[in-house]
A and B are shown apart, each in its own frame.
Chain A
């Protein structure tokens, strides 16, 4: 199975909204509501931001939201802040193996 497809980079200005896409297939993203998103700052361990497509763990700001349409999941960050600048990874954990996207670098201009 191939990795999920994410854009290499996205950018936005403070206060704006950005959306990161994550494209899989009908065998993974499209078939199950088991998609998660992780934020990783340089030199730090990843942090879970979204799970089960659109659920936020306690403590994650509601500026972060997830959705899915067909074989593509999306992470939307609204009201961009400087601290949102990081790498973001999607993951399909429907079964074995877990599949990660290649990662998207978010730049806050």
Chain B
């Protein structure tokens, strides 16, 4: 069974940093692109970042560029999202997903507030 489990969310003050993790199982991790998509409370979906299977292709949404860094460790079947200079509008449930989204995790909640 394919599983994606996010962790690392929490309550954090504006300007601080947080690192999200996504641990995968049930499929060949190093064959798959991984993406992060977020959903602010009561709002729609927003793509944040994506990384190809070999880390050769990395992309960011404009809102994440320069502040967030995506990475992966295929040996650990894990993907990470380092989020710096967090703002209140980064408050959201952050999902990781495989390829085009056949499989999603349950998400990890990030709340940015003073």
**A contact residues vs B (CB 8 Å cutoff):** 3, 36, 38, 40, 45-48, 51, 57, 89, 91, 93, 96-103
Contact = CB atoms under 8 A, between A and B. Distances in A.
Contacts of A97: 47, 59-62
A100 B104 contact: no
A36 B101 contact: yes
Residue with the highest number of chain B CB atoms closer than 10 Å, among A48, A101, A103: A48
Contact of A45 (B47, B62, B104): B104
Contacts of A47: 104
Contacts of B45: 38, 40, 46, 89, 91, 100, 103
A59 to B, nearest CB: 10
B58 to A, nearest CB: 9
Contacts, number: 51
29 contacts: A36-B100, A36-B101, A38-B45, A38-B101, A45-B105, A45-B106, A45-B107, A46-B45, A46-B101, A46-B104, A47-B104, A48-B101, A48-B102, A51-B101, A51-B102, A57-B102, A89-B44, A89-B45, A91-B101, A96-B50, A96-B59, A97-B61, A98-B37, A98-B47, A100-B37, A100-B44, A100-B45, A102-B44, A103-B45
Interface of B: 35, 37, 44-47, 50, 59-62, 95, 100-102, 104-107
A48 B103 CA distance: 8
A11 B64 CA distance: 35
* Those 3 A-B pairs whose CB atoms lie nearest each other, nearest first: A96-B59, A98-B47, A45-B104
Contacts of B101: 36, 38, 46, 48, 51, 91
A89 B39 CA distance: 12
Contacts of B105: 45
B30 to A, nearest CB: 21
Contacts of A36: 100-101
